[in-house]
Chain A
């Protein structure tokens, strides 16, 4: 009887302790990268002005049972965050900011998309708009196969397909040379990796610029913070409201830009940030 109680207590402590570790840890690995794809994301910041074209590098980390897509800056930041978990908050934050602040980012692309996690068939979008938001979706993307199949991109023979998603029509080039049902952003569901995808108005474009099969263990991380669960439409509203709030902070000197010319440029830049990838 005594032994049984001891066993139960031991099991209880293990469950409680492991639960505590999972809850308290802000970031932890959920898979390891098998294939690492880097995409150039070219987009207009202002949908009405073609001179506002920007481009940032984004990475698709394909693991054995899930994938994660985010900006190159976030990819590096996650790794630094995990590496510095034993450091105090200030040292860890200062180090991460100092080492990654030069990497191009955009308010419009400050998100992560994880597919097939926590279970197969689920897709989660984690976006930053002053707070962390999460949009959960099912992986049900419908494609129309097109006739074109003679294009070579990055050395891969590609075929064309079309889909409509969140207010835009997209054309995708995918390759059967890499028979993986994956792609940048939320895109998936083709018989091969999406090598290039752009919307009909050419306001958002993702193009593969490198692909590596990793032979060493490189983790895919999950940020375990408390997200606000919402719908995609409401996230778009939250992001707009966050952009307005940033504008207010510059105008009220809460973000103190010493040079007037630079301040005017920043205000103009934030005001012109309106080309959300999802249109509702």
Chain B
């Protein structure tokens, strides 16, 4: 019984921890400009304070690279 309880607590802590890690970065606004093909969005970073950065790119690769780079600059 004790083992099950400890295991349960560990699972809950793990889920909480994973969710915390995932919640660090999220896209909070999004706009698509058909004329330019630009996907623009604002990303929120939560790492010891809330920070924001905006990204405007036309391709998936460029968007993700810019966002990850900003994460590194702000939180890394």
Residues of chain A at the chain B interface (Cβ within 8 Å): 26-27, 73, 77, 81, 89-90, 92-94, 96-102, 104-107, 110, 128, 130-132, 223, 225, 246, 250, 254-259, 262, 266, 269-270
Contact = CB atoms under 8 A, between A and B. Distances in A.
A105 B72 contact: yes
B35 interface: no
B73 to A, nearest CB: 5
B30 A270 contact: no
18 contacts: A90-B27, A90-B32, A92-B60, A93-B41, A93-B67, A97-B71, A98-B22, A101-B24, A101-B68, A102-B21, A105-B71, A225-B59, A246-B73, A257-B49, A258-B51, A259-B49, A262-B51, A269-B76
A98 B44 CA distance: 11
A255 B27 contact: no
B69 A246 contact: yes
Given A81-B60, A90-B41, A255-B73, A97 B68 contact: yes
Contact of B51 (A106, A223, A225, A259): A259
A255 B39 contact: no
B48 A105 contact: no
Contacts of A258: 49-52
| Chain B contact patch, size range | 35 or more
A12 B75 CA distance: 52
Contacts of B27: 90, 93-94, 97
Contact of A256 (B26, B52, B60, B66): B52
Q: Rank and list the top 7 A-B pairs by shortest CB-CB distance, nearest first.
A: A259-B49, A101-B25, A255-B53, A256-B52, A257-B51, A94-B27, A102-B21
B60 A259 contact: no
Interface of B: 21-22, 24-27, 30, 32, 39, 41, 43, 48-54, 59-76
B61 A132 contact: yes
Nearest to B69: A107
B25 A97 contact: yes
Contact of A77 (B30, B64, B74): B64
Contacts of A81: 60-61, 64
Contacts of B76: 104-106, 269
B30 to A, nearest CB: 5
Contacts of A98: 22, 25-26
A89 B60 contact: yes
B25 A132 contact: no
Nearest to B50: A258
Give the most central of A94, A96, A269: most B CB within 10 Å. Answer: A94
Contact of B68 (A92, A94, A105, A266): A105
Contacts of A225: 59, 61-62
Nearest to B52: A256
Q: Which of B21, B60, B70 has the most CB of A within 10 A?
A: B60
Nearest to A81: B60
Contacts of A257: 49, 51, 74
